[in-house]
Structure 1
Amino acid sequence: MNKKESIKSVCDQKNFEEIFNKHSQTLRNYIYYKCGNTQQAEDIVQESYIKLWDNCAKIIFEKSKSFLYTVANNRFFNEVAHKKVILNHQKRTPSLDKTNETPEFILEEKEFYHKLKKTIADLPEKQRQVFLLSRIDKKKYTEIAEIAGISVKAVEKRMSKALLTLKEKIGNV
């Protein structure tokens, strides 16, 4: 028998099935003991065998078990690392639908917001324009004066009147 005939190829379907039948159950158990989740363990084992098949021409038959365990182990650690990233991200960014505020506070906040919107809408047009350019668009008085075609003093006066109106209708918050 020459050397070519004695070397088993992982790419041969019978040899691949032999590897699968011989190692899949113990590999699944090994990963299950690490993660404690049967479905996750089965998924990792399946992905390991897919990677073995994709790289079958590069893998020596005798090294296939080692390859499978290495791939499965790495895949498991990658999933753990990914979960850590997700958890850290969730800790840093507060959930939008979760709040520490009481329902009364949330209701008062909504009522205030609607009252503010209505009061701003009821401002005379020139005051509303100056107020929104200043507070929403963050424009400086000189920029507002250029946009509206008026003096900086006129901008200051309109802003002052707008703030007085808001204070009267909404009160100090």
Structure 2
Amino acid sequence: MDNVCEDEVFSNLFSTHSKTVYNYIYYKFGNEEKAYDAVQEAFIKLWENCAKVIPEKAKSYVYTVANNLYLNVIKAEKVRLKYAKPTYEISHESPEFLLEEKEYQAKLDAALNRLPESQRATFLLNRIDGKKYAEIAEMEGVSVKAIEKRMHLALKSLREEIHGI
């Protein structure tokens, strides 16, 4: 039977899940450094408790630890999500088009910032990372119905604020 304490098993868990855990926490923190730290700390805790965690439960263990780290930090400070602006390559688009696109991106960022954290994280995990509702529900420790409702409310809010989404 595989054991999380085996280097190969642990390494495989890290390579398989660390990027998704990072994205999940980044969408909540809005800070690359804090997300990176949370992922590292979560996998350190997994290693420290490797004898207690079976491989089938390691994924949810890491998400739970990372999420708890997030909740501890959020209690200490209120964090607003900041998004990296896309860098534009040399474009043959008109300056008017580029200006409209930039204004639209600013409106979208502002609308996303106004969403409750749970709706924003659900929306970004689904639309940016392509995660299915069941995967997001497992990460969040809630039902698929709860994720469906969060997504519905997020889309409704975004549609009200920005026409054309």
TM-score relative to the length of structure 2? 0.46
TM-score relative to the length of structure 1? 0.44
Bigger Cα Rg: 1
| Structure with the higher fraction of residues in helix conformation | 1
